[in-house]
Amino acid sequence: MAQGNQNSAAAFATNGLAAVADADREFAFSDADFRGLAQVAYEQAGIALSDSKRNLVYSRLSRRLRALGLSSFRDYRAFLDENLAERESFINAISTNLTKFFRESHHFDHLRSEVIGKFAKSYIGKSGRLRIWSAGCSSGEEPYTIAVVIKKEIRDLERHDIRILATDIDTEVLGRGARGEYPGNSVDDIPRPYQEYFQATGAGDTLAVDRQARSLVAFKRLNLMEQWPFKGTFDAIFCRNVMIYFDGPTKAKLIARYTEKLNPGGFLYIGHSESLNGSHPGLSLVGRTIYRREA
C-alpha cells in the first residue's frame, strides 16, 4: 500500500466488490466484529474504516479465516489479539495497492523540471546529493518511475549520491517491488523516451527495470503512524492517494511530520483526490496537488 500511494501506509477500492448479504456469508460477522477490527486498523496504521468498507473488510479477511482454519470473525479477533505477527497479515489483507507507472504524470513533469533538472544544472562537473521518498510505494511503480526520470535527466549518475527511499506497510507488495519485474503490458502507458529502461527478462512476458535505475531505490517496511527510523531530510516526498483514508487529525499530524522532513524549497506531492485542508505552516501550494516547503 500502499501505505498506501498508497500506507502504502493504505488505500481501499470498492469497485467490483458486490455487497455481501448477511444470509449468504460464510462466517458470522457482527457489528462488534467490524467495530473491533476497525479499531485495530486505526490503532495500527491510522486507517479510518467507515461503515461503507464493511463488505470490503469481510471479503478481504475471509481469506485469512480460511487460511487459519477459523470459523468466525469473533475467533479471528481473539487470534489477532493474541498473535502480534497476525497484525501484519491483517494490514496486508485490508490494503489495496492501486498503482501504475507515471500515474498522475504532471507530478513527474514537475519533478523533472523543478527538482531533477535543477539538480543536474547545479552540479555540472561536481558531485551532489539528492534524496526522494516514496511513502506508500506499493509494488514499486512510483519509485521506479522516479528512478527512470532521474536516469534520463542525469547522465553521470555515478558521480552523485542519489537515493530513493520506498516505504510501505504491506510486506507483500514490498517484496514484489524489490524484485523490479512487471508484466509486459504494465509499460504500455510509459512515455516512449522511458521505455528503454525496461528490458525483457526471458521469463515469459515479463520486463525488468534497468539495473542502474533499480539500484537507486531502497525498499523498506514502514508504518507511517510509528516513529520514523531515519534522521535525514528529503528534496521531494511523494505521498499520493494514502491520506484520503485517514481522518483529519491523523492527516494533519502526518503533514506536519512530512514538512519537517523536507529540505527548504523541497516539494510534497499528494494524490489527485486529496487536499490539505486548513493551515499548514511552512507549506505553500505551487501546482496541482504540489506543495513547496518555504525556505
Domain with CATH 3.40.50.150 in the chain: 105-293
Rg (alpha carbons) of the chain, rounded to whole number: 20
Show which residues are catalytic: 60, 168
145-200 pLDDT, tens digit each: 999 999 999 989 999 999 999 999 988 899 999 999 999 998 888 999 999 999 99
- Between the alpha carbon of residue 251 and those of residues 79, 88, 257, 280, 281, the distances in Å are 30, 22, 10, 11, 14
| pTM for this model (two decimals) | 0.82
- φ/ψ (deg, to 5) at 33: -60, -50
Least trusted range by pLDDT, from 104-113, 199-208, 218-227, 235-244: 199-208
Which grid coordinates are listed for 117? 533538472
Split at pLDDT 50, 70, 90, the class of 118 is: very high
d(CA 241, CA 273): 7
Split at pLDDT 50, 70, 90, the class of 13 is: very low
Kindly list the strands in the beta sheet with 206-209, ordered across the sheet, starting from the edge strand earlier in the chain. 181-183, 206-209, 198-200
Q: Is pLDDT at 286 greater than 90 in this prediction?
A: yes
CATH topology of domain 105-293: Rossmann fold (3.40.50)
The CATH number fitting domain 22-94, selected from 1.10.155.10, 3.60.15.10, 1.20.1260.10, 2.40.160.150: 1.10.155.10
